[in-house]
Chain A
Amino acid sequence: MGRADPIFYLAATRGASERIASPPEVKDSHYDVAIIGAGMSGLAAGIRLAHFGKKVCIFERHNAAGGLNGFYSFAGRKYDVGLHALTNYVSPGVKGTPLGKLLRQLRIDRDEFALCPQKQSRIAFRDCALKFTNEFSVLDAEVVGKFPAQAAGWRALVQLVRTYDDVALDAQPRSAREVVSRHLTDPLLTDMIFCPVMYYGSAQERDMDFGQFVIMFKALYLEGFARPLDGVRVILRVLLEKFRQAGGERRMQCGVAQIKEAQGRVAQLVLDNGEEITASQVISSVGFAETMNLCVPPQTQAAAANTGNLSFVETISVFRRQPAEWGWGDDTIIFFNDAERFEYVHAREQVDLRSGVICFPNNFDYAGRNLSEGIFRVTCLANYARWAQLPEEIYQADKQRWFPEVVRSAQRFLPVVAPEVLAEAQLATDMFTPRTIKKFTGHLNGAIYGSPRKIRDGRTHLSNLYLCGTDQGFLGIIGAMLSGISMANYHVLQGSTRG
């Protein structure tokens, strides 16, 4: 990875990770590598391993792949679960960025993802807005123009971000708030810069690790947003096909129920159906605490000490018209906040309406095409416990009650359109809550971004069990895939070349 080269650097400084000897009698139910979870990171790890001849199987509890970035069908429409936009987008020909690394590592042709760039996005606070696009110079000019006194500090921060080694697998956490405050002194500008970065990846309240800040700053501001016209399923389809072609095995509706340990190693995996399998190495993408809870004997204390609690609601409104027809403009994503200070915290009420994210999937540049219907999505911070404990009837009633509140909160940052005009054009709505996230992804507390403390090198208390995905700490869809790739490279493939 350019100047950093974490993959090899670590091996040189940390000493060899163990070499794996195959057991004397290899049975059919034995795999070189078992992967838990068929989300973006698990699939990417699987593609790498299968491509290089490992006998690999991905175990997925649900009937559909994708995990936190899946899609579902509801009343005849397909909805993306997590994806507002794919971050880390760069134009063809730009090299050395995460997107390019990912495409190379997975032998994917760029065109297969069919990425269409965003038009523009906005950070909208009560009295100030900053526009940004996939051209960094736009945000740079906005910041310098609206916060002239901060220009020097801003430029210094950008320079630090550009040169920071954000992918080192042995990096120690540092407070992003602390590092940024050395460069930016205006609280409004600081909050505005943090708002998208936190909403698109922070598992920590109020602050985040500076390495994670850098990953997201690059992903959002220095690189940018894109989306395939048909959404996340285009990307998933490519990954599933690559994995199949490479000879990988995939078992759906077949989760891992237990990770049984013996002598500091994973001895067996017990599947949901009671079947037992063995694997020389195991990569889990289901989250740190979630993985610890699968272990036998259980690692409940370790799990409890590093469980995320930041969750979200999202409303989805489908219209028969394009949002731009109402003068809602070309914004793809709008990060909004109406509070005195931006507070990215565990919601006290069911939903925290003070801030949020609007996404118009229609406002990507689809080269003359577009979605046939207008889609308006709003995401706000939410409280898991307050949704999880409700009896079904009240839960449904509360969804009905909060839906218009969330939509109204977001509309404060859009030109006014009469409610009856919107109602007349509305074709469908859906809403997910922290409870939905827990149910479909297994993430404790509906915490999309996982545990607050990331485990960069993916190691666990068991010598042949590794983490990838959200809790390894590379963020976004591209980050998730790179996480799977890095962990497969570092713990499995590179280990196998050690003489």
Chain B
Amino acid sequence: MTKEDCQKLVIDIIADIAPDEDLSAIKPEIRLRDQLQLDSMDFLDIVMELRKRHGIEVPEADYSHLASLESCAEYLTPKFSTKA
């Protein structure tokens, strides 16, 4: 899996949990919170959906890695690769 693929999977999850957000122009390097109306409940859902859909565990201590699409990809891509 490439980092681009990983970003795409995260965007798919956000599209489902926050269908009222426009995701067409998200900048990968900027914090998601600064571009979208996402609160802690939404971030919990990103974590939970990663587990539900992809079997990826994100322990609470690592939540900060989900700040931007770029940091998501950086953190999650190795996890996807190990799983595969």
Contact = CB atoms under 8 A, between A and B. Distances in A.
A485 B41 contact: yes
B32 to A, nearest CB: 14
B18 interface: yes
B52 A497 contact: no
Interface stretch (A33-41, A93-101, A334-342, A409-417): A93-101
Contact of A101 (B39, B51, B60): B39
23 contacts: A1-B41, A7-B41, A52-B48, A52-B51, A52-B52, A53-B52, A93-B20, A95-B20, A100-B37, A101-B39, A104-B19, A104-B45, A105-B41, A107-B16, A107-B17, A110-B20, A485-B41, A493-B48, A494-B60, A497-B51, A497-B57, A498-B59, A499-B60
Contacts of A5: 39-40
9 pairs of A and B residues whose beta carbons are closest in the complex: A499-B59, A5-B40, A95-B37, A8-B40, A7-B40, A52-B48, A1-B39, A498-B60, A96-B37
A443 B52 CA distance: 37
Interface residues of A, number: 27
Nearest to A16: B60
A370 interface: no
Sort chain B's interface into a size bin: 20 to 34
Nearest to A486: B41
A99 to B, nearest CB: 11
Contacts of B67: none
B39 A497 contact: no
B62 A499 contact: yes
A489 interface: yes
Contact of A497 (B17, B19, B41, B48): B48
B56 to A, nearest CB: 11
A52 B57 CA distance: 13
A280 to B, nearest CB: 17
